[in-house]
Amino acid sequence: MADHQEEQLRELLDHVVGGLGLEATVQVDVDDEEIVGVLEGDDLGIFIGRHGATIEAVQHLAQRILLSDPSAPRRRIVVDAAGYRARRREALQKQADQAAAEALRFDRAVALDAMTASERKLVHEHLRDRDDLETYSEGEEPDRHLVIAPAK
């Protein structure tokens, strides 16, 4: 029998795909730690949205729906489309590495562009083991951004 949260995520993604008039397949994978909904198809740019705004909004909505039941398991909810999350992770890590090199070269803090909390967390974790750098977030949503600075 399918997990209730799995069914909820599948229904949400099917509804959004239908509402946007997209041709896409929806696959939902569940384990003890997370539930991942993945869309595959052509022209999923409208689902991803400008700078990932739409896919982030759908993921936030999915989190609110799936975690609204206090008796439901507390798992991480991820929504992806056409490999967007992996491409975005790679781009953020490259941007973080470049900013880290600049921070060290010029011995000054380097601020990255505003990003979502999950993206900031990804960059913090990417640079976490570097003893020569520190990372911290500044600003207020939606303009909250990450700063990479030489370690004090």
Q: How many domains does the chain have?
A: 2
**92 lies in the same domain as 75:** no
- Specify whether 91 is located in the same domain as 77: no
Q: What's the predicted TM-score (pTM) here?
A: 0.84
- Domain end, chosen from 67, 82, 97, is at 82
Same domain for 105 and 66, yes or no, is no
pLDDT tens string 10-44:
999 999 999 999 999 999 999 989 999 999 998 89
Q: For residue 125, what are the domain limits?
A: 87-150
Widest CA span of the chain, in angstroms?
A: 58
Taking only the tens place, the pLDDT of each residue in 82-102 is 999 999 999 999 999 999 999
How far out from the chain centre does Cα 130 lie? 22
